[in-house]
Amino acid sequence: MIRGVRGATTISEDREEEIVSATTELLAEMIEANSLEAESVSNIWFTVTADIKAAFPAKATRQFQGWEYVPVMCAQEIPVPGSLPLCIRVMLTADIAGAQSEVKHIYLRKATRLRPDLSQTK
C-alpha cells in the first residue's frame, strides 16, 4: 500500500550548508524509522517557509546512495502569519506494508511543536 511519511525540521539560519545538513538528518531518520529503500519510494515533496531561499532541501536526497532516481520536488509553504519560521517539511510517499498507524513520522528540532501528538517526535 502506498503510504505517506511526514517529517519536518528547522534551521537556525538560511544557509545552504545548514539546509542540506538538517534535511539530510531528517531524511536519514525517516528512512531508518520506516525501513525504507529507494526502490519503494514513489516521490518526495519538500516545502520550506518563505524565509528559506539559500538552497533546495531536495539536494539532501543525493546524499543517499541509490536514491538518485527518486523523484523530488520543492515548493514554498503558504505564508500563514505566526507559522513556525525556518521550517523544512517533507512528504515522502512509499510502498509500506504496515498499517497507516504504524508509519513513523519524524519531527526534529523546533518542528516538534508541529505534531506533539506523535510519539515519534524528538
Which residues are catalytically annotated? 6, 62, 74, 77, 89, 107, 115
Handedness of CA 35, 37, 42, 44 (dihedral sign): positive
CA distances 12 to 15, 20, 24, 96, Å, are 9, 13, 15, 33
| C-alpha Rg value of the chain to the nearest Å | 14
